[in-house]
Amino acid sequence: MLGFIKSNTFGKVQGMGDYIERITLLLSKQSVLLLLVYIIIATSWVFTTDQLLQPMADESDTAYLLISLKDWIFIVVSGLVLVYFASRKREAQKDLASTERKYQKLFQHSSDGIMLTNPDGSILKVNPAGCRILGRKEEEIKELGREGITKNDEKMQEALKRREETGHFSGELTFIHKSDKHIPVELTSSVFHSEDEGLQTSIIFRDITDRKKHERLLQDQIRMRATIMEVGAKALEADELTSFYEMLTKEMTSLLDAQRTHLFRFTEDSVVQQLASSPPLEASLVDGHGFADLQTLNTPQIIQPDQLRPLTQQLPDASVSYGVIIPGDSGPLGFVAVQYADDYELNTNDELFLKAVAHIISITTARKQAEQQLQQSLDEKKTLLAEIHHRIKNNLAVISGLLEVQAIETEDEHVRFTLQDSQQRIQTIATIHEKLYQSSTLAEVGTEQFIQDLIRSIHDAHNPGNQRDITYETDIEDIDLDMDRAIPLGLIVNELVSNTYKHAFEEQEQGHISIRLESKNDMIRLQITDNGKGLPEDFTLQQSSSLGMNLIQTLTHQLEGQLEYQNTENGCEFIVTAPFPQ
């Protein structure tokens, strides 16, 4: 009996094992592992209980019954286990089907392109978004493979190398559209293992053409703003408009990637005249053509190609041109035209750049014209002022000549000396006017030259032919003085030096005069020293009836200065100090 049960039990176990083996094909790896563990435990249970109950099987029916119930219990438990695993399998299949449907929807309806490929570059599957980005059908993409839809450049080789080393790549590559247009894409690619197919790759990509376009527009905007600032700075530094216009058209041609850029102005008779062109173009091709219709535009705006047709018909290789009016106070000054050989549409940055350039040209032209007018006016005034100084000098020379004739004709010695003194004073003023119209500013004269000339003139007048042994030395600092200070100072020098020649050496056979002029501590200091007989002991400026001394006091007061005098061991000394002109 035991043998029958034993063989029957093992038969059931063996048959169940075959059934379980078939079932495991439907189960997941985790379920199969759990089922194998159960089979081992169940088999151990059968053999263990058979070995324990076998000694009692021949002696007791109870043991036989237990062995029979044990087997049925095993069968029932095994069935429950199989039912449990079958239900788990159905749930797993249901979850898998649901997940597959979700992923299939994601694959089909994703806005990003998705491709499933082999590592060798063959393409297994492409979603609709990927077909739309590439402009091709799925079968066509599969037939082309990776090499047919991807630009094989350094970026592509680097991407393949990185994916091979790390199993993953993220970055930007270039795909090729059906129209041969290059499409920049942002791409993520990963390598994974498929149970059915082995190693495969997933590629998720999106078209970033618009983003690249916006990035380029932003970069162009930044570059154009920098160029506008640079052009504005150069406009302020421009000394000559022609070179500025040439520089500007060259910059515009480069920045706008144009075939040629022109700069035109409207003449008074409503015709166009070329100011600059880059690359250079023969002026005769455009100069003199009428463009009166554009003169009604008073604000900067983009000129459409049909408005430029009267001009572009005269220009070689110009399929499309754009331009902007250069505004002026009394109407447009001209316009800037940009030529393109191919059909091209200006973007917002290009238009703003052209308008900004037009304003810069307008402001620079107006400023240079104002500067030229101002310089012309200054030149005219400078010429007029020089002529005035020259005529004053000539008129004073005429007066000096009349006084000299009168002095020669008079027999009164006192009158003659008086006329000669007046003649010398007039000559001093004439010398200053002469130096003024010879100076670069016409407003200031250097003290060194005119005082040197003045001293030499006084010496020749009072010591003609060096009849007396009187010498002089000068130490004159060259100080720029305006006419209001130069004339009083020159007259003071004339009076003091002339008096020295006339009175200091009456009782001497020889003499020496020292004239020093310097600026120090915001003051001008004139010092005239001689080694003559000196001043009388009772001499005072207040009591002096001399016209020369009274004139010296008046002129010192005019300079807001002070006059000091004293006798020295070998003569006398006069010192005049006055504020330094600021």
Residue 518: φ, ψ to 5°: -150, 160
Based on C-alpha coordinates, what's the Rg of the chain?
57
Q: Tell me what pLDDT residue 16 has.
A: 41
Q: Tell me what pLDDT residue 8 has.
A: 38
**Which of 524, 533, 534, 536 minimizes the C-alpha distance to 561?**
524
Chain centre distance of CA 509? 79
Chain centre distance of CA 521? 47
DSSP-derived 3-state class of residue 571: strand
With a CB cutoff of 8 Å and minimum separation 6, the contacts of 228 are 353, 356, 357, 360
Whether 16 and 79 have beta carbons less than 8 Å apart is answered as: no
For 450, the token pair is: 């005119």
Query: pLDDT tens digits for the chain (582 residues)?
Result: 333 333 333 333 334 444 444 444 444 555 566 666 666 766 776 666 666 656 655 556 665 566 666 666 666 666 676 667 667 767 767 776 776 677 777 778 788 888 888 888 888 889 998 899 999 998 998 888 888 889 888 888 888 888 888 888 899 999 999 888 898 999 998 888 776 667 888 889 999 888 888 887 787 777 777 777 777 777 766 777 888 888 888 888 888 888 888 888 877 776 777 888 888 876 555 555 555 555 454 455 666 666 666 665 566 556 667 788 888 777 778 888 888 877 777 777 788 888 888 888 888 888 877 887 887 777 777 777 777 767 777 777 778 777 777 778 787 777 877 777 777 778 777 777 777 667 666 668 888 888 888 888 888 887 877 788 888 999 999 888 887 888 888 888 888 888 888 888 887 878 999 999 998 888 899 999 999 888 888 887 776 777 788 888 888 898 899 999 898 888 899 999 999 766
Q: Tell me what pLDDT residue 528 has.
A: 92
**Which of 294, 350, 304, 305 minimizes the C-alpha distance to 327?**
294
Q: Tell me what pLDDT residue 69 has.
A: 65
**Which of 191, 203, 150, 189 minimizes the C-alpha distance to 173?**
150
**Which uninterrupted H or E stretch holds 567?**
strand 562-568
DSSP-derived 3-state class of residue 182: strand
Q: Tell me what pLDDT residue 454 has.
A: 85
- If you search the block for the tokens 């309806």, which residue do you land on? 109
Q: Tell me what pLDDT residue 55 has.
A: 61
For 555, the token pair is: 């002129």
Q: Tell me what pLDDT residue 527 has.
A: 93
Q: Tell me what pLDDT residue 486 has.
A: 85
